[in-house]
Amino acid sequence: MKDVRDALFVAHASDGKLVRRPMSPHLGVYRLQLSMVLSGLNRISGIVTSLGTLLLVWWLVAAASGPKPFDTVQHVVANPLGMIVLFGWTLALVFHTVGGLRHLAWDAGYGFAKDVFNRTGPIVIAVSVVLTLLIWVVGFALWHHGVPAAGTGS
Amino acid sequence: MAGRNAQVQIMRSQLGRVRGLGSAKSGVEHWWVERLTAIALVPLTVWFVVAVLLHLGQPQLAVVHWAAHPVNTVLLLALVMLTFHHMQLGLQVVIDDYVHDTRSHLVVSLLNKGASLLLALFAIVAILKMAFWIHAS
């Protein structure tokens, strides 16, 4: 025992013998499965969405500051690189939300059967991609209606 | 039940019992608040994405007018507060999982809490400033 916390990993097995409690199964033991990938992606998309909140705060502060700072944000986001970032953020946010609904269903006790979660995994991916593309198609359609050109400052 | 092999399986070590480790009814709070904020954020996020789509390419004053409507102000504030609370809770779990060194864990955890709080305050002040926008010109 190197650490007092190791004491918490020792327990009595059902036959009364002292055993070390099992740790989580090692990743290397398992064949790569969709559920593992989606579980990791839920976390990664959460981190990406968190980084994206910087853009949200910048946008809000700019809108509260005046036309010039607001135009700067609009210009940066309308630039191809800005659009790629915004698209990535949209995808991460949509995936985290849709996948999050699946996690909430699990938390409520639904959808644990093997055939069910093997079906809902691909559905989460499909719905996320379709919703993200839909948001962007609608966005482009509305944008070209509402704006004469990029950078319509007042 | 009353056989010789009947045993109560206690999944808690003697040391853990002596040191008073245990939930004291608050062990699931972090997990629970993360779920509650997640549920509330689903409709708020959908509302926000739709609102942003409807304001694409519009001038700054249009955004201010929209944010100044009391319903929008309240929903924006709710969205921002819950987003940063949920974000802080979620990132903390990632930090707990991957930052093992006690000192680094404390530093990174405090940075997470500080950054989340500051970002939330920036957003809240910006929203309130739009809500009470003064037309100077």
Residue closest to A46 by CA, chosen among B128, B104, B63, B112? B112
The pLDDT of residue A1 is above 70? no
Within 13 Å and on the Cβ side, how many CA atoms surround A58? 13
Q: What is the pLDDT of residue A139?
A: 94
B126 in contact with A, Cβ within 8 Å: yes
B110 in contact with A, Cβ within 8 Å: no
A-B C-beta contacts closer than 8 Å? 110
Return the structure tokens found at B3: 């056989």
Residue B16 lies in a domain: no
Residue closest to A23 by CA, chosen among A43, A6, A40? A6
Choosing among B28, B52, B56, B119, which should be mutated to test the A contact, i.e. which has the most A CBs within 10 A? B56
Residues of chain A in contact with residue B38, where contact means CB-CB under 8 angstroms, are 100, 103-104
Residue B67 lies in a domain: yes
Residue B68 lies in a domain: yes
Contact A41, A88 (CB under 8 A): no
Mean pLDDT across B80-101:
96
Interchain proximity A97–B45, CB inside 8 Å: yes
Q: What is the pLDDT of residue A153?
A: 41
Mean pLDDT across B79-97:
97
Interchain proximity A46–B91, CB inside 8 Å: yes
- CATH number, domain at B114? 1.20.1300.10
Mean pLDDT across B28-47:
95
Q: What is the pLDDT of residue B120?
A: 98
Within 13 Å and on the Cβ side, how many CA atoms surround A108? 11
Mean pLDDT across A113-122:
92
Residues of chain A in contact with residue B41, where contact means CB-CB under 8 angstroms, are 97
B4 falls in which pLDDT band (50, 70, 90)? low
Quote the number of domains for chain B.
Answer: 1
Of the listed ranges A25-39, A98-112, B57-71, the one predicted with least confidence? A25-39
Residue B109 lies in a domain: yes
B18 falls in which pLDDT band (50, 70, 90)? confident
Residue closest to A42 by CA, chosen among A118, A93, A112, A87? A93
Mean pLDDT across A119-147:
91
Beta bridge partners of A18: A12
Interchain proximity B60–A43, CB inside 8 Å: no
Question: B97 vs B10, which has greater pLDDT?
Answer: B97
Residues of chain A in contact with residue B63, where contact means CB-CB under 8 angstroms, are 63, 70
Can you name the CATH fold of A27-146? 3 helical TM bundles of succinate and fumarate reductases (1.20.1300)
**Which residue of chain A is at minimal alpha-carbon distance from B63?**
A63
The pLDDT of residue B115 is above 90? yes
Q: Which residue has the tokens 């915004």?
A: A86
B38 falls in which pLDDT band (50, 70, 90)? very high
Mean pLDDT across A89-105:
97
Interchain proximity A64–B129, CB inside 8 Å: yes
Interchain proximity A154–B59, CB inside 8 Å: yes
Per the structure, the complete domain to which residue B120 belongs is given by 25-131
Q: What is the pLDDT of residue B5?
A: 57
B1 falls in which pLDDT band (50, 70, 90)? very low
> How big is chain B, counted in residues?
137
Task: Phi first, then psi: give them for residue A17, nearest 5 degrees.
Answer: -80, 150
Choosing among A27, A60, A110, A128, which should be mutated to test the B contact, i.e. which has the most B CBs within 10 A? A60
Q: What is the pLDDT of residue A8?
A: 74
Average pLDDT of the residues of chain A: 88
Residues of chain A in contact with residue B61, where contact means CB-CB under 8 angstroms, are 67, 154
Return the structure tokens found at A70: 């607001």
Mean pLDDT across A62-82:
95
Residue B19 lies in a domain: no
Residue closest to B108 by CA, chosen among B85, B92, B86, B87? B92
Residue B35 lies in a domain: yes
Residue B4 lies in a domain: no
Average pLDDT of the residues of chain B: 89
The pLDDT of residue B87 is above 80? yes
Q: Least CB-CB distance to B87: which of A53, A70, A107?
A: A53
Choosing among B13, B15, B93, B127, which should be mutated to test the A contact, i.e. which has the most A CBs within 10 A? B13
